Structure 1
Amino acid sequence: MSLLKFSQALIFTLASTLPLTSHAALNKNEREIVKQVEQNMPQALEEIKQAVNINSGSLNIEGVKKVGAIASEQLKAIGFKVEWLDGSAFNRAGHVLATFESKNPEAIKILMIGHLDTVFAKHDNFITYKQIDEHTASGPGVADMKGGNTIIITALKSLQALNLLENVSIKVLLTGDEESSGRPLSLSKQAIVDGAIWADVALGYENGDNNIKTAMAARRGYTGWTLNITANAAHSSQIFSDSVGDGAIYEASRILNDFREQLATQPNLTFNPGLIVGGTNADYDSANSSATAFGKSNVIAQTVHVAGDLRALSPKQVEGAKKVMQQIVAKSLNGSHAGLIFEDGYPPMGLTEGNKKLLALYSQASQDLGYNKVVAANPRNAGAADISFAANHVDMALDGLGLMGSGAHTKNETADLTSLNKNTAKTALLIYRLGQL
């Protein structure tokens, strides 16, 4: 029987024969898993604190390597073979790759994805871990996603302590550039693709939409774009004349408004101009996401640069949006010329039947533990993530399984610590059950 058909049969059996009261649906091994996870919670909290207190912004090579070294030791301690994949070829620190190979040749293969880096720069006014109350902690990357990394490792530690990993082969990949991807993507994301080609199932531990009642069975992809416009410079009194034209800023306004009018009603499609600079002289520094300009109110603007992103739920939707955007750009106003450049980005993670079945397995584990049903999150409620590079290579993929929280990417980031035990137990139970397929 195929993996997907067997998982479907398992879901039906569990749903039809087992009561959904707290722990009543668990067998002896599964009840031991719950106890082991609970025993590991104090150490898990300490490990989150240790990781959060290291500044590991994507461009802080030393900091990312320090967090990677700690995770490597934790994975080695539970019997994983650990490698550091150097990232100098794509201008980032690198990745941790940890492997556990089952002796069972029929064992299901699972890729578990996290990331070591945060959005906080090396020279930021760094804020350390703080326990706000019994259920809440704060700190840079506490939920996105150092808490998620800890859930991965603690779940595996709990299973290994009970000798319950024998029917699964696992690769844990903790990337060092999720928040600011190294270039080219063909190198920086190669380890994810390779792991996914090896695997049957991919599990991602981003915090998704931060709702413990949902998981990401689909994610929108991300594509960056830059709009560059040049026009005739002249005294402002000559604007709109046949000999001079409308200027670069009016051309930018036309294009952006046409984007909105022609594409904004498409479901799950968004396109955001995040930076715009224009004037007589305008320079955009894409590497540092900064810009400078000079212009006067009595001079027609000669140059405009706009930087934005495009997010969609399918490759077809991405290509359709790109085509419309290029058509709009091509209809230049008098006296101006515009060019639109798209960069390589994150592919979409579509809502496949396999992903739905994996979500159902995860939801069943949650309910059998006495927790809530888990449903598919709205893809509009979360950004792109590394799992998108894996999703098209596996039978099943699911993301958003990490530590819940709020305020990600800000100085006010917090973690909901009530989700630590719950989501670790769900993961451990899901992996154990996948091994029984």
Structure 2
Amino acid sequence: MTRERGLATRLLMLRRFSTAFAALCLSATPAQAALTRAEQAMVRTIDAEQARTTSMLERWVDQNSGTMNVAGVRAVRDLVDPEFKVLGFTTEWIDMKAAGRAGHLVARHNGSKASKRLLLIAHLDTVFEPDSPFQRWERQGDMARGPGGGDDKGGIAVIVAALRAMKAAGTLDRANITVFLTGDEEDSGNPITIARRDLIAEGKKADAALDFEDLAQDDGQNGPVDLGSIARRSAGSWTVKVTGRSAHSSGIGNPGVGYGAIYELARILDTFRRELPDDKLTYNVGLIGGGQSADLDEGRIRLQATGKTNIVAATAVARGDLRAISQEQIERTRAKMRAIVAQSLPGAKAEISFDEDGYPPMPPTAGNRALLGRLNAVNRDMGLAEMTELDPAKRGAGDISFVAADVDGLVGLGPGSVGSHTPNEAVNVPSIFKQAKRAAILMSRLAAEPRSGR
């Protein structure tokens, strides 16, 4: 089955089950005796404001905010900013011109000094630039197609709906919440030390981090099954460059000539394939070329090569990515890759380099798992199924990883969606409200707890 057919099939399944599933969630939620009065009030507020929330999200989606569209990202900021101010948040725009990007919107609510500090993470940008034909919101029953409807304007809609419910129920008053909306999650600015400097600083102050990217789901017998996400893998790049002895092809393999750059690069990559496998580790080759010349462009995403069939290749280049679940796994794998590269065939010499501007890993920890336990307590009280852990190999890298070394976190508090990063991207609209209820109750309970001395 092609990717397009697979996405279409899942979209059809979500449409088929979303109405019944949403009705079940909405009818079960308010009646749960396990919810406090304030929590029941939050549920009612979110239900009452469904039309408002949906209309708000539609306006955001219709404003292009591709990462490189600096004006567009700022325009979405201007739409989002008042939603926080009306709730008593102070907002700040952190300009990221120094990193070649628009900037980040930060909204802060100061409650009781003794209460836990929560960091909410989402992003303003999408992968769809102004030249993309995919630009507008289109409602199709319970599903709505649109750039960023799920990733991640839908996540921001969940945040706003949850905070409005907390305000109405009075649980926002004592809460210490910082909302950090990056403007370059889909294509981070450079250097990364500047682009993520302020997010890292907020993570050091927080007691819990909640990431509002797409809800993780599996296809169940009766429709999508919600999963909890407590880990994300890293995302980093590597480059292998090889030089060989240029000579007439009739001498290939002879002692004075050797095997040339392309054979050596092929040896390296195939050895990676055979010798690097490890749990949760992936290593992809995304760009390759070789010949008499092989030149990468400045952005290292294009390669121009020249050569002839009767000349032994003088140079070869390959670039790829490396995704791991822990820093230890990254270092161990890099050491293996360096050792493989060093065992060059006669007549060739290779070197490998690793980019240092990637995304770090968010390994599964006891603290993250405890947060999922807190979310599952909310699920039980709402009459929803408990969420098992998502395999982190099924999820890409994300901004929460930059704070993972300093604070416990949860991923995937945004809405359910399909087709992320494709023109088939569609958000399950009822899931926005379900996720907002989960988030509002979870944040209210966490905010009622004292800090542990951090």
Q: TM-score, normalised by structure 2?
A: 0.88
1:338 CA drift (Å) = 1.2
Question: What residue in structure 2 maps to residue 207 of structure 1?
Answer: 214
1:20 CA drift (Å) = 10
Question: What residue in structure 2 maps to residue 253 of structure 1?
Answer: 266
Tell me, yes or no, if structure 1 residue 162 matches structure 2 residue 169.
yes
Over 3 Å counting, the alpha-carbon distance change for 1:129 and 1:21 in structure 2 is closer
Question: What residue in structure 2 maps to residue 301 of structure 1?
Answer: 313
Question: What residue in structure 2 maps to residue 312 of structure 1?
Answer: 324
1:232 CA drift (Å) = 1.7
Task: Give the match's secondary structure for 1:287.
Answer: coil
1:299 CA drift (Å) = 2.1
Aligned equivalents of 2:188, 2:151: Cα separation in 1: 15
- After superposition, where does 1:234-245 map in structure 2 within 5 Å? 234-245=247-258
- Equivalent of 1:23 in 22, 32, 40: 32
Question: What residue in structure 2 maps to residue 10 of structure 1?
Answer: none
Question: What residue in structure 1 maps to residue 406 of structure 2?
Answer: 393
- For residues 325-353 of structure 1, what are the alpha-carbon distances to aligned partners after superposition, in whole Å with 9 as ceiling and x for unaligned? 00101111111111111112211111111
Mean alpha-carbon deviation: is it higher for 123-132 or for 31-40? 123-132
- For residues 61-104 of structure 1, what are the alpha-carbon distances to aligned partners after superposition, in whole Å with 9 as ceiling and x for unaligned? 111111112111211121110010000111111000000001x2
Tell me, yes or no, if structure 1 residue 276 matches structure 2 residue 284.
no
Letter of the 2:73 counterpart: V
Letter of the 2:106 counterpart: L
CA RMSD of aligned residues (A): 1.7
Letter of the 1:433 counterpart: R
Task: Give the match's secondary structure for 1:305.
Answer: strand
Letter of the 2:254 counterpart: S
- Does the CA-based 8 Å contact 1:20-1:367 persist in structure 2? no
- Equivalent of 1:360 in 338, 360, 373: 373
- Does the CA-based 8 Å contact 1:21-1:368 persist in structure 2? no
Letter of the 2:192 counterpart: L
Tell me, yes or no, if structure 1 residue 120 matches structure 2 residue 128.
yes
- Does the CA-based 8 Å contact 2:30-2:40 persist in structure 1? no
Question: What residue in structure 1 maps to residue 21 of structure 2?
Answer: none
Structure 1's unaligned 5+ residue stretches are 1-18
Task: Give the match's secondary structure for 2:151.
Answer: helix
Question: What residue in structure 1 maps to residue 105 of structure 2?
Answer: 96
- Does the CA-based 8 Å contact 1:40-1:158 persist in structure 2? no
Question: What residue in structure 2 maps to residue 424 of structure 1?
Answer: 436
- Equivalent of 1:322 in 314, 317, 334: 334
Aligned equivalents of 2:418, 2:244: Cα separation in 1: 44
Tell me, yes or no, if structure 1 residue 333 matches structure 2 residue 333.
no
- For residues 112-145 of structure 1, what are the alpha-carbon distances to aligned partners after superposition, in whole Å with 9 as ceiling and x for unaligned? 000111112332224311112x211111121111
1:21 CA drift (Å) = 10
- Does the CA-based 8 Å contact 2:117-2:177 persist in structure 1? yes
Aligned equivalents of 2:306, 2:128: Cα separation in 1: 30
1:286 CA drift (Å) = 5.3
Question: What residue in structure 1 maps to residue 181 of structure 2?
Answer: 174
Tell me, yes or no, if structure 1 residue 225 matches structure 2 residue 234.
no
Letter of the 1:25 counterpart: A
- Does the CA-based 8 Å contact 1:108-1:168 persist in structure 2? yes
Q: TM-score, normalised by structure 1?
A: 0.92
Q: Percent of counterpart pairs with the same letter?
A: 38
- Does the CA-based 8 Å contact 2:249-2:310 persist in structure 1? yes
- Does the CA-based 8 Å contact 1:277-1:284 persist in structure 2? no
- Equivalent of 1:146 in 141, 153, 169: 153
Question: What residue in structure 1 maps to residue 48 of structure 2?
Answer: 39
1:27 CA drift (Å) = 1.2
- For residues 244-276 of structure 1, what are the alpha-carbon distances to aligned partners after superposition, in whole Å with 9 as ceiling and x for unaligned? 111111111111111111112x10011111111
Mean alpha-carbon deviation: is it higher for 288-297 or for 361-370? 288-297
Task: Give the match's secondary structure for 2:193.
Answer: helix
Question: What residue in structure 2 maps to residue 11 of structure 1?
Answer: none
Aligned length: 415
Tell me, yes or no, if structure 1 residue 287 matches structure 2 residue 299.
yes
Aligned equivalents of 2:376, 2:415: Cα separation in 1: 16
Question: What residue in structure 2 maps to residue 14 of structure 1?
Answer: none
Mean alpha-carbon deviation: is it higher for 427-436 or for 211-220? 211-220
Aligned equivalents of 2:52, 2:318: Cα separation in 1: 47
Mean alpha-carbon deviation: is it higher for 338-347 or for 286-295? 286-295
Aligned equivalents of 1:400, 1:165: Cα separation in 2: 22
Tell me, yes or no, if structure 1 residue 131 matches structure 2 residue 139.
yes
Letter of the 1:85 counterpart: I
Letter of the 2:365 counterpart: T
Structure 2's unaligned 5+ residue stretches are 1-27, 219-224, 450-454
Letter of the 1:94 counterpart: G
- Does the CA-based 8 Å contact 2:64-2:135 persist in structure 1? no
Question: What residue in structure 2 maps to residue 412 of structure 1?
Answer: 424
Question: What residue in structure 2 maps to residue 77 of structure 1?
Answer: 86
Over 3 Å counting, the alpha-carbon distance change for 1:280 and 1:352 in structure 2 is same
Aligned equivalents of 1:72, 1:21: Cα separation in 2: 30
- For residues 219-255 of structure 1, what are the alpha-carbon distances to aligned partners after superposition, in whole Å with 9 as ceiling and x for unaligned? 1111211111121222222211111111111111111
